[in-house]
Structure 1
């Protein structure tokens, strides 16, 4: 039987040095030729406006919202804001028709006047007696 011995360290080092030297020589010859002129590439830069559009789907949620209601019911006389409008505190959004309320107010005022007249009449009768 014949056994092969692994290569010695000395042989491996010598082979590595030879490979490195050959690599350096090839690099100098093919890539670092002093007679070969350097080549530069130039380009002109132009200023342009960039526009980017994004198309997405989703749900829009308001930053603030409020549920509005009236203290009384009635017919709407005027609408002064639309859905999506920005509004400020105290701004009139809707006016109600107050024709019925005005009539009821006049009726109530007449009743008050009648009551005051009756009270005055009663005071006069009391003071005469």
Structure 2
């Protein structure tokens, strides 16, 4: 999700996602380390490692909890420091923020489902993983 969302917004207008003051402090290669490198590492890990994943229900609860935690950090920075981590949030009304957060949560959950399905297609059910781990 990070790779797709960050670079989509960055392609439209870099200052929507990275404030101008941060652009001066952070070298461009750091954006790639932070927002691009995760994708190939996750894909290689999925292809090379049989993961013993939790049930879909448990995995979904964990993903939703992580997204809510992340959003609470974003909202906390706004509340306590008076600015948005991502400048584009400044332009959204309260209802648009709620819709955007909900859509991001659903998108992240769908990516989890795709990743879990891909893992099952590559490695089969958990029993195969348990057999390979012995």
**Common fold, TM-score beyond 0.5?**
no
Q: TM-score scaled to structure 1, two decimals?
A: 0.25
Larger Rg: 1
Higher strand share: 1
Q: TM-score scaled to structure 2, two decimals?
A: 0.24
Higher helix share: 2
* Greater relative CO (CA pairs within 8 A, separation 6+): 2
